[in-house]
Amino acid sequence: MDPDSVAKAFVDHYYSTFDSNRAGLANLYQEASMLSFEGVQIQGAQSIVAKLTSLPFQQCKHHINTVDCQPSGPAGGMLVFVSGNLQLPGEQHALKFSQDICTHMLLSAFCSAKTQLLLICLVANFFLDILSVIAFFIRVKMDEFSHKEQLNNATSNAVNAKVLLLERI
């Protein structure tokens, strides 16, 4: 998926959650996250969500005009600039807004900890399966050379590596 599509999906998720259930934004922030709002810096997921839920309006609707993004950092982060209109109930004119969002990893933004762990397990199992295939080819080559003891050690080491990795996860 290209960065623009990822940024658009993130922005759609963020603002639809903001409009329908601001408390649901908590899983998009980390303890190191910071929100700068009207000259005040607010740090940490709980503090940020407390600020957002204490805004003087309970309902709103964001209309996004622009989403610009660029990759940021080696870990899949992105810098996203959003602008649009914010419509409040009972107000004739929408308010203009803009927001800069810097993500460190979009995986953490879109996934719960349980889902992230599942994805990590799937990746780990993929690499462990590769180790098993390598162990199989080593076994085939060792059979050709009649080194049964070395074959058993290689297979055992691959299985032990898989077990150790799964225990760490």
Model pLDDT for residues 66-113, shown as the tens digit of each residue? 999 888 776 667 889 999 999 999 899 999 999 988 876 554 445 555
Q: Which residues does 83 contact at the CB level (< 8 Å), separation at least 6?
A: 64, 65, 66, 96, 97, 98, 99
What is the Cα gyration radius of the chain? Answer: 24
Nearest CA-CA partner of 109 in 20, 14, 8:
14
Residue 96 belongs to what H/E stretch? strand 95-103
Residue 67 has a pLDDT of 94
Cα(143)–Cα(149) distance, rounded to whole angstroms? Answer: 10
What does the DSSP 8-state code read for residue 32?
T
Please state the pTM of the whole predicted model: 0.61
Average pLDDT of span 136-157? 61
The neighbour count for residue 169, using CB atoms within 10 Å, is 12
Q: Which two tokens stand for residue 19?
A: 């409009």
Q: Look at 153 and 12; give whichever has higher pLDDT.
A: 12
- b (16+ CB within 10 A) / e for 40-69: eebeebebbbeebeeeeeeebebeeeebeb
